[in-house]
Structure 1
Amino acid sequence: GTHLAGVVSGRDAGVAKGTSLHSLRVLNCQGKGT
């Protein structure tokens, strides 16, 4: 979750520094997600 996002996309250091992350929730036709 949040900790992993910070490790991967840190502003100054990280696996993919300087990238942007976007949170998505995908729902089925009943409005249920995972």
Structure 2
Amino acid sequence: MIPAAFDYVRAGSADEAISLLAEHGDEAKVLAGG
């Protein structure tokens, strides 16, 4: 399977992550891992 195209944005802080989520609305997804 070929995954759908997506844009990856890395937030530098929690505040930036919240701002990015607000900016991109329902299309935004949080990815976490380690």
Compute the TM-score of the two structures, normalised by the length of structure 1: 0.39
Name the structure where helix makes up a greater proportion of residues: 2
Compute the TM-score of the two structures, normalised by the length of structure 2: 0.39
